[in-house]
Chains A and B, each alone.
Chain A
Amino acid sequence: MSEIPDILTCTDLAIGHGKTVIMDRLNLSLAPGKILAIVGPSGCGKSTLMRALGGLDEPLGGKTTLMGVDLATANGQERQDILRQSGFLFQGAALFSSLTLRENIEMPMREFLKTPRKDIRQLAEYKLALVGLADAMDKLPSEISGGMAKRAGIARAMALDPAVIFLDEPSAGLDPVSSGRLDELILRLREAYGTTIILVSHEIPSILRTADFCVYLDPDTGTMGAYGPPKGFLQAGNSPKVHAFFTQARFD
């Protein structure tokens, strides 16, 4: 039986801002359809790692392959294709402020699909309904709350049915009911389409519910402190720091 290749791998990856390295010696791989959570203390480089894994930023060293393409050597067109098959939710949602929520979701579809306009409208309405924003389709981003903007950002990330979705703190600013619904949505997306999901989060209960794997970034050592199934992090094992982070965050 042929083995399915990993959708994401990174080898000796170094990330940072400018020329300053904040994390290095990062090695991980992820099979298609798996959910990876990136955790760690604030400012340790979680979002920077996510951007590097998604090909948005150049890493400072090492190698990253996404969907079989080496991001360091990929030409402009290959990089564009990879980005088109990826969906991103940024920390501040990054919705286009002059477009309504529906237009925000329709925008990538109009750019990349040949689907008729009325079908695109249906698709956008469905994606917004999935995240509970069916009643806010015609609102501008300035007219909705931060939590609603986050959900609209997720709907836009899902617009083109990407193979990989990167979510930067998706639950931040959401009430517990919406947060639980988002976890359910993440699991159903994976179940329905085999979507691979990489998320940055501080919500340990949410990570335990959804993630198959978890990478803990340790700012003291400047590299990953642990990598594996998140439930294992709850048990007192090799890394007391990781265990403390998980148990403290869980019961705080």
Chain B
Amino acid sequence: MSHAPTGLPFARTEVLADGTALVTIGGAWELNQPLPPIVIKGDRAKVVAEGLTDFDSSLPAWLYANFKNIRQLDISTLPARLQSLVQMAEKASSDHAQSDHAGLLETFGNWGVESGGSWARAFEHIGNTALGFLKMLVGRAKVNWGDFTLQLQTAGVDALPIVALLGFLTGLIMAYVGLIQLRQVGATVYVANLVSLAMTREMGALMTGIIACGRTSTAYASQLGSMNVSQETDALRALGINPIEYLALPRILAVTLMVPLLAVFATFIGIFGGMIVACAGDLSIEQYLTQAIRAITFKSFLVGFIKSIAFGFIAAWAGCYRGSVAKRSALGVGEAATSAAVLGITFIVIFDAIFAVIFNLFDL
């Protein structure tokens, strides 16, 4: 009878006259080496040891994996300590059924149900936020006002440098592109109208909304998601405090208040950025400012302002909503932050288009 090389684990199978599979194991079984392959036919098996020098958990794991479905298994001649390790795993798992895997159709169905549930949860969150706001107005909501002032600072004042930089560059780029085109028709003076109107009606609000999504939505989703993980939101519920009122409302209010102010700031900085390019080209400062002031009407200012209020609300709500439904894991918090930014930016662009149609209808 041939033997496996000394030291390496081996398993040999032969079928006895009564159909029982006789498996002979031996060698030194260590975690750090491949385990021998084995195929068992039938539902009866007997395992015997021959030259079994040493083993760690790899041997009971191998026996457990390969023999757990054998109806009649005889391991009575194996070392007692090995038998006990195999039997213990079998005993602990015998009462439990294996978890079943979902098929393709079920997976698709689950996706459909989850998507529907996700939209339902989103509308529920918006509804609860509106209710919380009404309760706050009549003084019946428990709102964390400490959070509100902190968020005014972090979502508003702290965002000034990035809003200034991006607003300035937006105005500068628009003026540069506009100047090249308008020069061809000898109308470079209108570059001031282009920049000031675009910044006031559109770009000031849009850029600030997108910055709020990237900066504030993700932060809110992470904060609220982490609080979900550490069961802080459950603790609030247990105390009879609605987490949406206590955590989401001050954040949404703060951002809805600060984004319009930041948008106005971005608008002026953008117009200033445009002036730098225009004056480096064909225009004087006086010409640029006269044209810009003439172009900005109260209507266009109102359009930009209304948009920025909506964009601020969307950015804050997206963060709070995704954070509140985040899965209770580090991965879940990361996913919540990403999806908050995506959801916020998508909704801002969609609502920008809707606003364009509405303002056109009302001749604004």
Chain A positions within 8 Å of B, measured between CB atoms, are 96-98, 109, 113-116, 119, 122-123, 125-127, 129-132, 134-142, 158, 160-161, 181, 184-185, 188, 191-193
Contact = CB atoms under 8 A, between A and B. Distances in A.
B81 A192 contact: yes
Contacts of A191: 81, 84
Contact of B89 (A109, A113, A130): A130
B65 A125 contact: yes
B57 interface: yes
> What are the 6 closest A-B residue pairs judged by CB atoms, nearest first?
A134-B93, A98-B331, A97-B329, A126-B61, A135-B96, A132-B92
A188 B84 contact: yes
Contact of A119 (B58, B81, B84, B329): B58
Given A135-B98, A138-B99, A193-B56, 16 more contacts: A97-B331, A98-B329, A115-B58, A119-B58, A123-B58, A126-B57, A126-B89, A134-B89, A134-B96, A134-B98, A137-B99, A140-B327, A142-B328, A161-B56, A188-B81, A192-B84
B330 A135 contact: no
Contacts of B90: 129
Contacts of A134: 89, 92-93, 96, 98
B54 to A, nearest CB: 11
B61 to A, nearest CB: 3
Interface stretch (B29-37, B147-155, B252-260, B310-318): B29-37
Contacts of B330: 96-98
Majority-rule SS of B interface residues: helix
A141 B88 CA distance: 24
Given A129-B90, A134-B96, A122 B35 contact: yes
Given A119-B34, A119-B35, A129 B92 contact: yes
Contacts of A96: 330
A130 B65 contact: no
A97 B84 contact: no
Contact of B57 (A135, A142, A161): A161
Interface residues of B, number: 33
A158 B331 CA distance: 25
B85 interface: yes
A192 B58 contact: no
A141 to B, nearest CB: 7
B329 A115 contact: no
B350 interface: no
Nearest to A143: B328
B134 to A, nearest CB: 34
B92 A188 contact: no
Contacts of A138: 99
A74 to B, nearest CB: 23
B33 A115 contact: yes
**B61, B85, B90, B98: residue with the most chain A Cβ atoms closer than 10 Å:** B61
Contacts of B49: none
B229 to A, nearest CB: 7
Contacts of A131: 92
A97 B61 CA distance: 25
A127 B92 contact: no
Interface string B65-99: 10000000000000001101100111011001111
